[in-house]
Structure 1
Amino acid sequence: MAYGEARTRFRGSISPVVTPFHEDERIDFDTFTELINWHIESGSHGISVTGTSGEPSSMSVDERINVMETAGKTVNGRVPFIPGTGSTNHQETLRMTKAAQEMGADGALVIVPYYNKPNQHALYKHFKAIADSVDIPIILYNIPGRTAVNLKADTIAALAKDCPNIIGVKEANKDFEHVNKVLLKAGRDFNLYSGIEVLCYPMLAIGGAGHISATANVAPTEVADLFNKWEAGDVNGAQDLHYHLMPLNDVLFRDTNPAPAKTALSMMGKIKPVLRKPLDVPSEEVQEEVRSTLISYNLI
């Protein structure tokens, strides 16, 4: 796929699908396949796995590659498939990104290394080496709340200039001034995706390409329709959906993602409410809040 074509095709709601587990914490591949099919049938414009919502840091590299392969076969070209291949370990990131290319993924979502806190020059070298190692499109993933370091707009712009296959960035960043500067400095044809639920609509308004929102795990149709309405010029409809989704967005982050989302999906009959340690299900109080919110949205 030409990189220009990828910029056009990788638009809309790219669902960051959770990884279902059995009670003993083994990966539940049958349920995982059903979830992906449900997302596509519900109107999601793309599928991503092994990102934050998929609990990748709780999996081995081999497990992550197995999850990616299962997802790719399930998607089967129906929508863009962009797995998360990043890690705190550079060599692991190289291995998983190369594996994504070998299995036919449409692109890769590569997170800023977490815990290490590299400086901007080190981040540039890390991402450039990853981009140079493959021929598939790369979407950077900036989530300073999890990684403890912010990928600055100047660094993103330098990577976009020097690496033709770095086509966009997922910004799970509450600093709206920063995300505006990303498009100013990297170019307005650079694909900007919101990873902050309440900013999905505002990022479309400044020229964003879509969103990779955890809320899509629970309400894939509505999250996709937010983009559809904006793209169709239905500004009022998009605004209405933005405000309609806000209470659901809020409750899904009452605890660490993806714990509330998995709780919601279990209440909806989609998965078992199992997370891998060290994560666990939310408190009973939060579970009741999730339940009442789902009822208010007619999801259960």
Structure 2
Amino acid sequence: MSKGYEEIKQKLRGSICPVITPFKENYEIDFEKQSELIEFQLENGTHGISVTGTSGEPSSLTVEERVQVMENAMETINGRVPFAPGTGSVNHDETVYLTKKAQEMGADAAMVIVPYYNKPNQHGLYKHFKTVADSVDIPIIIYNIPGRTALNMEVSTMARLVKDCPNIVGVKEANKNFEHVNRVLLNCGRDFLLYSGIELLCYPMLAIGGAGSISATANVEPKKVADMHNAWEKGDIKKVQDLHFELMNLNDVLFKDTNPAPSKAALGMMGKINPTLRLPMDLPSKALQDEIRQTLKQYNIEASYEI
């Protein structure tokens, strides 16, 4: 690993918020609101920013819009925290293009999802990621989310990629199989950056040597999510445990419908965005909206806006 990668690896830790993509009522991207959401994150201690990951509805965006969202985020962040946009796609050439764009605009890393729907075999998966990694010099974070992609990157494939691609530095594991997660660090190296994409595993992954989390819940409660990592760094295990359990009800309600619909509903109730999603995504049911509002009140989060 080159010195450059080692330096950024030390920075790419803690709570990296996968910021949602706000839309106006006419479904156009609301770049002003996007910038406000990023400022909200930074004011509350979030350690890094990602956009156009799952929470950012990338499949609802054109390739050009994804570039625009990344550029707006990059400009808003202005070097204050690391920036690692999602650049993956079901389409290989799009993935290469978007990852190159991330490098061109100065992103600190790129997060590349395991391709969804087409279910390549492990060798195809290896070739896809190796080609993407070889096309750029910035660090690559693999995004493994079997529940969305219908495909799991096996530990042996990940370890092979880490061996052959010096800039593949980490993985976001939205994987409920905790045995798999343990074997990732065993086989990819204890310095491999392991991020939790499963909210209830944020603390357990830290306990085995994880680098942090990329949690949708941070969109709604950024301070508590960031504080968990701050407490871990200080060795305050009791506080980490307390925050782990304190966040559980919010984590649960924000995933009772497909992400990011509940998070957008919550942010709408908080008055931070117009909670519009592009079809086929839609807001949660009225019953779940009521549950989200009540849960926000339990966390002393102002939720007085109608959506």
- TM, length-normalised to structure 2: 0.97
Residue of structure 2 aligned with 1:115, choices 117, 126, 131:
117
Partners of 1:267 and 1:218 lie apart in 2 by 10
Match among 84, 87, 107 for residue 86 of structure 2:
84
- Per-residue deviation, residues 190-219 of structure 1 (Å, max 9, x unmatched): 000000000000000000000000000000
- The equivalences for 1:28-43 within 5 A come to 28-43=30-45
Aligned to 2:68: 66
TM alignment of 1:44-59, pairs within 5 A: 44-59=46-61
- Give the equivalent residue in structure 2 for 1:203: 205
79, 92, 95: which one aligns with 1:93: 95
Question: For the residues of structure 2 that align with 1:89 and 1:278, how far apart are their CA atoms?
Answer: 20
Q: Find 1:238's aligned residue among 228, 237, 240.
A: 240
Structure 1 position 5, deviation (Å): 1.1
**What are the ranges of 5 or more consecutive residues in structure 1 without an aligned counterpart?**
none
Identity %: 68
| Map of 1:190 onto structure 2 | 192
Secondary structure of the corresponding residue to residue 300 of structure 2: coil
After the TM superposition, which residues 5-44 of structure 1 pair with which residues of structure 2 at under 5 Å, given as runs?
Answer: 5-44=7-46
2:177 maps to: 175
Runs of 4+, deviation exceeding 2 Å: none
Partner of 1:162: 164
- Cα RMSD of the aligned pairs, angstroms, is 0.6
CA deviation vs aligned residue, 1:166-225 (integer Å, no higher than 9, x gap): 000000000000000000000000000000000000000000000000000000010001
Which ranges in structure 2 are unaligned for 5 or more consecutive residues? 303-307
Q: 2-side partners of 1:123 and 1:29: how far apart?
A: 34
Aligned mates of 2:110, 2:229 — CA distance in 1: 21
CA shift, 1:141, in A, is: 0.1
Alignment of 1:128-139 (within 5 A): 128-139=130-141
Equivalence for 1:227: 229
Distance in 2, matches of 1:136 and 1:47, equals: 16
> Counterpart in 2 of 1:284?
286
Q: How far 1:57 moved relative to its partner?
A: 0.4
SS of equivalent to 2:29: coil
Query: Any idea what the Cα deviations from partners look like across 1:134-186, whole Å, max 9, x if unmatched?
Result: 00000000000000000011111111111010000000000000000000000
Instruction: Say which SS state the counterpart of residue 216 (structure 1) adopts.
Output: helix
2:305 is matched with none
The corresponding residue for 2:257 is: 255
Query: 1:273 deviation in Å?
Result: 1.2
- Which residue does the alignment assign to 1:124? 126
CA distance in 2 between counterparts of 1:276 and 1:180 reads 37
Deviation string, structure 1 residues 236-286 (Cα, Å, up to 9, x no partner): 000000000000000000100000000000001100110010000000000
Q: Report the Cα offset of residue 290 of structure 1.
A: 0.1
Secondary structure at the counterpart of residue 17 of structure 2:
strand
Shift of 1:235: 0.2
Which letter does structure 1 place at the counterpart of 2:101? Answer: A
The whole-number CA distance in structure 2 between the counterparts of 1:196 and 1:5 is 26
Distance 2:218 2:6 in 1: 26
Cα shift readout 1:17-47 (whole Å, capped 9, x = no counterpart): 0000001110000011010011011100000
Partner residue, 2:298: 296
